[in-house]
Chains A and B, each alone.
Chain A
Amino acid sequence: MSGRGAAGAIALWALFNALLAALLLGFRNNLVQMLSWVAAVATLLVIVVLALRSADPRARRLPEASAGALILAIAVTLLALGAGVGLWAALIGAGLAVIALVVLGREARE
């Protein structure tokens, strides 16, 4: 199925959100509140555009396993830990992230 129907439902949801955000403008609000909502609605609009452009590919290669995905998850974890436990974790994470991207690239080509 094309993504048009789903895009319509998501656009309707984005409209509900935009209306509720607009209603808040009539009450006391602040920058963080409005920015959070603007970001949410903007994200929805991006999803709507992506949905409109999506189509189920007739044939595609499905991976059975992915070592790259696991390495990427460990890399992101170490990057996040870096801020708390030390730069060494972030550096290892950055190195692993590069390796993960290489492995994922190779997996995608296979």
Chain B
Amino acid sequence: MSVAVRTPTASLRGLTGYALGTDHKSVAVRTFCTAFGFFLAGGLLAVLMRTELARPGMQLTSRAGYDQLFTMHGSTMIYFFVTPVALSLGTYLVPLQVGAAEIAAPRVNLVGFWLFVLGGLIAWSGFLTRNGAGAAAWTAEFPQSGSTGTPGEGMDLWISGVALGVLGTMLLAGCMLATIVGRRAPGMTMLRLPVFSWAMLVTCLMVVTSFPALIVAMGGLLLERHGVSVYPGAYGAAAYQDLFWFYGHPVVYVMFFPFVGAALQVIAALSRRRLFGYKGVALSLLLFAALSMSVWGHHMFTTGQVSNDYFSLTSTALAVPAGLEYVAAVGTLIGGAILLRTPMLFAIGFFVQFLLGGLSGIYVASPPLDYHVHDSYVVVAHFHYTLLAGSVFGLFAAVYFWWPKVTGFMLREGLGKLHFWIFVVGTNLTFLPQFFLGYDGMPRRIADYSPANGWTTLNELSTLGSYIVALSVVVFLVNVAVSWLVPREAGPDPWEAQTLEWATTSPPPRYNFEAALPAIRSAEPLLDLRESLAGVGAPREEPA
């Protein structure tokens, strides 16, 4: 591991520690907690939207208010929850998994955290302005997001907040990338990198190459709203969309890969097996990430401004590397000594739920079908199956799995399983009816509909589902509270897991490892150690 000169200062605590502490674990926990706070806020907006849509007529808010609700819900979930929460997992775990004492450039990491926090607060502060918060959807497509389409300071604050938040997440990713590149412990070659760290590597590469496009797009939008012509005419609107979606589609995978890595790691550890096809998974992650950089134009099929042939080809091709991830998951489970603990349930749930989102993605990757369902509830159902019903399952798999490492105590199994099953029922009840609503022609982003449309029953079911999802989150919070108040100590390695983070105390000390690291001969050094202690076969040595 890296040798670090230790500063004599004691661990920072309290407000000073929160504001100024540079320990990557502390920054990661702060990022996670802040992002989870945004999740609760964005979730509240979702419940309000679903309550409004449960029946025809306007019950809770105005049409303009509804525009703000869906804009802030989508923006909060994408810019200020899923992306930063995914990066927070990497910020905590990657230095530990590669055997580093610290993250590279810890001050930059801290700047990234604060830009994310301040960006989120600024975007939300739009609610305090005269015209309310940003109301041009999370995509802020121009000219709707211009000063005529969406007047007021709230939209300006939204643009600045989003740009800052994205810049912050770029800095977090840059530090993680530098850690993987230059801070790996001796023996930790790239083909011995744990699969979660591989997933974070491709995630960080996508962040640093695609996120700048959004900052450019937002800068142009801000100038355009203040009198500088940046996106003139029809070509200007398409140019904005090209820039936006060059960020906007890769970010979907930034919100996916970390959870694929986490779920695969959980499945391997709780199947008591090495990951099936490890090298294939690493290569497929690289291919998957490159392909996902090349599909942004499928969001623009109906604009007539992109090559539908090219973007349909690349979008459909995504099914190949995605299939390899599924082969790895199933191949690891087959023949494994499976422990159906809460993290495993969520990891399997992630792959099953995501399948619905992924398969519906193949349909909308076909231009003729996309023309039919574009801007309908089919699209809403599709991306919620990938993000909430998919990625958030992966997130909870990671949370239940690494919680003992971060806090030193276990979450309750009974409450965890209750959380899982309520979440399964809630997400499917919310989003499955939306496929049928979209097929029946219900457009997205509408605040009201006529009883004559015949959409009421499906909307009622979907709203009921959203309440059940909210209930599942309450169960999770109760689990956290109970486990915190009556802690059950976890010890360093409660799962008998495989990777280096489990070779240190729970929680880890300031510089991660106080004892010498075990020899690193594969992507599963702790499993190697256990096998050699048990005398199982010859020591495994992966090629460097």
Contact = CB atoms under 8 A, between A and B. Distances in A.
B94 to A, nearest CB: 12
Given A13-B205, A36-B213, A84-B222, A70 B114 contact: yes
Contacts of A83: 156, 160, 222-223, 226
Say whether chain A's binding surface is mostly helix, strand, loop, or mixed.
helix
Given A24-B307, A61-B5, A30 B242 contact: yes
Contact of A6 (B114, B163, B190): B190
A77 B118 contact: yes
Contacts of B114: 69-70, 73-74
Say whether chain B's binding surface is mostly helix, strand, loop, or mixed.
helix
Nearest to B310: A27
B251 interface: no
Question: Chain A interface: which size bin?
Answer: 35 or more
Contact of A28 (B106, B186, B306): B306
A84 B159 CA distance: 9
Contacts of B102: 62
Contacts of B107: 63, 66, 68-69, 104, 107
Given A36-B213, A43-B208, A62-B5, 8 more contacts: A9-B190, A17-B209, A60-B2, A61-B5, A64-B12, A66-B107, A73-B168, A107-B107
Interface of A: 1-3, 5-10, 12-13, 16-17, 20-21, 23-24, 26-30, 32-33, 36-37, 39-41, 43-44, 47, 50-51, 54-70, 72-74, 76-77, 80-81, 83-85, 104, 107
16 contacts: A1-B186, A9-B286, A13-B290, A20-B290, A29-B310, A30-B305, A32-B243, A33-B246, A39-B209, A39-B213, A64-B22, A73-B110, A73-B118, A80-B163, A84-B153, A84-B160
Interface of B: 2-7, 9, 11-12, 16-17, 19-23, 101-102, 106-108, 110-111, 113-115, 118-119, 122, 153, 156-157, 159-160, 163-164, 167-168, 177-178, 180-191, 201-202, 205, 208-210, 212-213, 222-223, 226, 238-239, 242-243, 246, 286-287, 289-291, 293-294, 297, 305-307, 309-310, 314, 511
